[in-house]
Structure 1
Amino acid sequence: MSENSVSPLSIPTALAELAATATTLVAPYLRSVARSAPEVGLKQDIHDPVTVHDQRTEAIIRWFLAKFAPGCTVLGEEMGEELDPELVGDISEYVQAPAVALSEQVIDVIAPLRSRVRWIVDPIDGTANFASGLTYFGTSIGVELDGEVVAGAISVPFNYEIFVADDRHFWHEDERDGTRKLLTSRGPTTETEALLATYYPGVHDLNASPDLSLAHEKTLMNAYSTVRRPGAGAVDLAMVAAGWIGVSMATALKPWDVAAGIHMVRVAGGSVLNLPMGTDLPDGLRPGVVASGSTLQATTAERVLRELDAEADASLAEAGNPLED
């Protein structure tokens, strides 16, 4: 594979191409409505915002997938799992990208797959950033084939860039001119040199286990050169895959936050520890994540995550694990 061409002949590559095109399709819309002071709603609490643009962006993506991948299913953050064009209505006025150009080979490869394919969609990864006028947000689409993630794409609209992976290669694409560059997950070689992007401990951790959370925070801050909360977990994982963020850690992500990003890190040669944190989700979709580049073993973050996973198991056992009913 050359840096400027990707074979559309394999199924994972065709799925990666379609996912990348879908993220590119919504990027102009997101740029046009960002910093528009959208009305913000809440899901679970004040720390889990949603805007009409999250819902509209997912609707655009679903419309696009229904057109080019008929019969597939979607697991989206904002809507149900069934891919039904009638559900999303007419969103043509919001599609601001130019006409989509997909090769006939890509279309021919994907069309027969139908229900073998599931798209895992986060329309706006980093909604709180987006709603506040910050530009660190993106759109993430992971792609399952027969229940296994084989491709993904994550766009960062204000950077005009898309990160894409099939089952063998990870590449960066410039939205403006379509140029592509293969990337590998290289970066710092020691924890003390690495930036840690993390969302632990969060407010729920501090309320539930303040002493443990503060002890873990002290451990992490002493182990890594810098600790940041960028605000978009999927984008963080893409940056780890590219070798630009040393380590990403989270304890409560959703499948749409991690499906594409975990796959990218692994394809790029990086390491991912993905723990269930009391859920029954499969590897690659679980809420507990420590991801690092190929040149770094994130020993401290992994130790903290394993401790938290063990604590989640103990809490389930004490309460009576509903997964065993």
Structure 2
Amino acid sequence: MYKEFDINECLAQTITWAKEVGKIHLEYFRKKELSIETKSSSYDLLTIADKLSEEYIVEQIRHAYPDHQVLAEESGLNEMVSDFCWVIDPVDGTTNFAQGIPIFSVSIGLRYRGKGIMGVVYAPFMDELFYAIKGQGVFHNGKPIHVSNKTELHQSLLCTGFPYDHGTNPDNNTDNIARILPHCRDIRRLGSAAYDLCCIAAGYFDGFWEMNLKDWDVAAATVIIEEAGGQVIRFRKEPNYCIIAANALIVGQMQEYIK
């Protein structure tokens, strides 16, 4: 399908890269010298671990696949024109990372002609590795996983997050929480969308929604969820991703309350 491109070899390389990035994360985690900066707002953080992690992944891709396009959170889209596009979040959950909270991850997705074909998400503090190739199943630390088989929203544990502009934009997801909370078992907010979505794939959460996510938040995890038998749908037509993720039955029931 991809001519002379070996996607299984590519997956093995990507897992190696993700684990090396995990070492960078842990080298700086809970250390004082994080060189914290802000981006779009005071809530949108950037640390030295973000920069070094992205530089490492981009360098590895350029060496292994010099003709591939790369879209990375901090450096944007390179000028390469290619059927293949890597989508990278070097530290997903930077606020957690900067605060010393151990829920953060590196997310590396690969798209072919705009469609996801591979995803790797690694949460280094917990040593949790999720990975999938389109059509070849999905694995968590080497074991196959599947989305929850819950059929009723009132039995479901949900997960969500808040957009970075929640302090200035009244469209900040609080209304969705107020509508859906009475109809589900409970709601959690962990702070790393890529990891949250992988927990959907593994059945640890039964449903997830969030607004204003970016490509690098969802590219890898979408492949992982779909290979686990789940659905990822967009509930708004916006450039950014406003998504619901769960099994098909729970997605349908969540749509009644998520606007």
TM-score, normalization: structure 1?
A: 0.71
| Higher Cα radius of gyration | 1
Cα pair 1:201 1:217 within 8 Å, conserved: no
Q: Does 1:303 align with 2:222?
A: no
Note the 1:262-281 alignment, pairs <5 A: 262-279=222-239
Q: Distance in 2 between matches of 1:10 and 1:190?
A: 42
Per the alignment, residue 6 of structure 1 pairs with none
Which of 214, 218, 233 aligns to 1:258? It is 218
Q: 3-state DSSP class of the match of 2:245?
A: strand
What 5-or-longer segments of structure 1 have no aligned partner?
Answer: 1-8, 85-113, 174-179, 280-285, 308-325
Q: CA RMSD in A?
A: 2.5
Which of 54, 60, 73 aligns to 2:69? It is 73
Which of 148, 163, 168 aligns to 1:186? It is 148
Change (3 A) 1:146 1:215: closer
What 5-or-longer segments of structure 2 have no aligned partner?
Answer: none
Cα pair 1:121 1:142 within 8 Å, conserved: yes
Count residues with an aligned counterpart: 254
Change (3 A) 1:28 1:117: same
What letter corresponds to residue 231 of structure 1 in structure 2? G
Change (3 A) 1:234 1:145: same
Q: Distance in 1 between matches of 2:174 and 2:91?
A: 30
Cα pair 2:84 2:111 within 8 Å, conserved: yes
Per the alignment, residue 43 of structure 1 pairs with 39
Following superposition, the deviation at residue 13 of structure 1 comes to 3.1
Per the alignment, residue 17 of structure 2 pairs with 22
Q: Distance in 2 between matches of 1:229 and 1:30?
A: 21
**Which stretches of structure 1, 4 residues or more, deviate above 6 A after TM superposition?**
none
Per the alignment, residue 172 of structure 1 pairs with 140
Say which structure is richer in strand. Answer: 2
The one-character-per-residue Cα deviations of 1:211-268 (angstroms, maximum 9, x if unpaired) are xx65432222112111111100011111101111111110110000001111111111
Say which structure is richer in helix. Answer: 1
Of the structure 1 ranges 236-245 and 269-278, higher mean CA displacement relative to structure 2 is found in 269-278
Cα pair 2:41 2:164 within 8 Å, conserved: no
Cα pair 2:206 2:250 within 8 Å, conserved: no
Q: Does 1:195 align with 2:157?
A: yes
Following superposition, the deviation at residue 203 of structure 1 comes to 5.8
Q: Distance in 2 between matches of 1:142 and 1:301?
A: 26
The one-character-per-residue Cα deviations of 1:28-80 (angstroms, maximum 9, x if unpaired) are 12112101132321111112111121011000111111222222111000113
Per the alignment, residue 84 of structure 2 pairs with 117
Of the structure 1 ranges 10-19 and 263-272, higher mean CA displacement relative to structure 2 is found in 10-19
What letter corresponds to residue 13 of structure 1 in structure 2? N
TM-score, normalization: structure 2?
A: 0.88
Cα pair 1:206 1:214 within 8 Å, conserved: no
Which of 128, 141, 150 aligns to 2:117? It is 150
